[in-house]
Amino acid sequence: MSAILSVDDLNDFISPGVACIKPIETLPTAAPAASDVNPSNEFEVILDGQQPEAKSNAPPAEISLTDCLACSGCVTSAEAVLVSLQSHNEVLNMLDSAPALKLVGPGADGKYSVEGLENSDAKLYVASVSPQSRASLAAACGNGVTEQQAGRIIEQLFLSEQGLARGGKWGNKFTWVVDTNTAREATLVLGSDEVLGGSIAPSDRAATPVLTASCPGWVCYAEKTHPYVLPHLSRVKSPQALMGTLLKTSLSRILNISPDRIWHLAVMPCFDKKLEASREELTDAVWAGDGKPGRGVRDVDCVITSKEILMLAASRGLDFFGLPASAPPQTPRFPDPSIHDFLFRPGHRQQSREAGTSGGNMHFILRHLQAKNPGSQIQTVPGRNADVVEYKVVAKSGEVMFKAARYYGFRNIQNLVRKLKPAKASRMPGGKPFGSAKRPASKGNGLDYGYVEVMACPGGCTNGGGQIKVDDPVVVDRKGLAVKPGPLEQKEWQKEVDEAYFSGDESDSGAQDDSSDLVVDGISSSHIRNVLTHWSTLTGIKLERLAYTSYREVVSDVGKEKKMTDTERVVQLAGKIGGGW
């Protein structure tokens, strides 16, 4: 178990696999003695308290994120396994690999160009930052620092000469830092249209109840252990994924450069977001190829967490908390006016407390439905614990129009998926189906929900595994704590993070269309749809490929005998008789 997962609360931990299943290609030079033959896999996950058996002098196994996703030997939440390829060190290595590409323009014709393309290693660097990460860093700063101010400190780190550019081999810095809140607003409108049947709903809509799919820990769990829930997963991309697609597609088409020349870094509260970035469904193989998942150019090249922001600054000899919270240096305009206005709108919209700390997918759907039905009300029914809540939209007449629910934490998620499990037909002649169908109808099976917001972490995304915790040395030192903080101190710390998340300016209207437009929580649905339509027209790619994704069952082959080719059988036989090549 890693240090990130606390033994005080295993609510978001499922179980480790017995062994890693990635095949190791070796050619033995001599047959091992019969007494030394171990029928188990060569490389195993060693649990605490176990001693590894003596092994041969084999090289260390290297397992990529793609390999990890291809296996269901491990199922965890809030922890990505073997994520060495996505870390603060990878960010520094990339920045120091070659001089950065430089955006030039606009010219007399209004177009932009790129300098430095002759160097094949040169990249154009773009970063996107989540509000939950800004809130975690704001709480670590203390002294009433808001989420918006923490965002400016991050921008100073990425954009200014006194940030990452100082001490780097080439003095590289990022061209833009964008807020994933803009992509979040787009996913809210897309998700509402998917559930309520709006104008831009996908052709392959999810089955009812629709389940949130922006949490990669939950998605991986569903794909590996409960494939029968996959038809219920929302087809809308997460804000991280949508932002990655938006940046890679628009910049590559406008600047006429390959998407692999654009390097996109995402700052997220969750380690599982690293796994999401490695999904084959989120590459240019989908939007620039035949529409099928494949190993193409990733929409998000690297993900680091809130904790790793501090490590990133320290690696350059910088004190993150010493950077100014003032406005960052002026950056070039995004080469498309409409997308520029969408990404860099003035002001800072305050997060709604009613929407929660995970983006507000369900809350937006409820508020949208309420706005379309004047006189209706949203009623809340508390569940068995704080992370299970049921919501109803009740018409003026008293009729229940729509039901939704929130399930946070794997302990609650397991109860949800059990309710969704289809009944199995009895093998006995005349026997009744068994499973979920044998529950009394009065108990309810949850299928009357229109939407369920599902998140792996108890308390939501501000409590993600990559967030700064109260017992981290940086917090202990800055708060001057004499004793090691415990669970009670962590709860108080979480309240500080949540307060920072909800800090900010008063929510503005955000409406950019006529007064008849439906505006929900300051988000204009028609404006978002216009931006999405413009994006599709600009890139020449259908919105179906840009904004939506797919899922697939991951079948474990742990403990199953692998089918070998004739060549593999010859190699194995040669090894057993002491031969070789």
For the beta carbon of residue 399, count every other beta carbon within 10 angstroms. 9
Amino acid, res. 46: I
pTM reported for the whole predicted model: 0.81
pLDDT score of 254 more than 70: yes
For 421-453, the pLDDT digits (tens) are 887 766 667 666 655 545 544 344 446 899 999
Tokens for 51, please give them: 């001693």
Residue with more model confidence, 32 or 307: 307
As a whole number of angstroms, the distance between CA 113 and CA 251 comes to 11
- Tokens of residue 573, six digits: 């036989």
Q: How far is CA 388 from the centre of its chain?
A: 22
Among 333, 310, 336, CA closest to 323: 310
Q: Which of 14-23, 80-89, 445-454 has the lowest mean pLDDT?
A: 14-23
Mean pLDDT of the chain: 82
With 0-12 / 13-18 / 19 or more C-beta atoms within 10 angstroms meaning exposed / middle / buried, residue 192 is buried
Residue type, 344: F
Residue 353's pLDDT band (cuts 50, 70, 90)? confident
pLDDT given at position 140: 95
Supply the pLDDT for residue 255: 95
Q: 206-245, pLDDT tens digit by residue?
A: 999 999 999 999 998 999 889 999 999 999 999 999 999 9
Calculate the CA 285 to chain-centre distance.
Answer: 19
pLDDT at 196: 92
**Are 525 and 200 in contact, with CB atoms under 8 Å apart?**
no
pLDDT for the residue numbered 512 = 47
**Alpha-helical regions (H) of 278-332:** 284-287, 306-315
The pLDDT score that the predictor gives to residue 434 is: 58
pLDDT interval class at 570 (50, 70, 90) = low
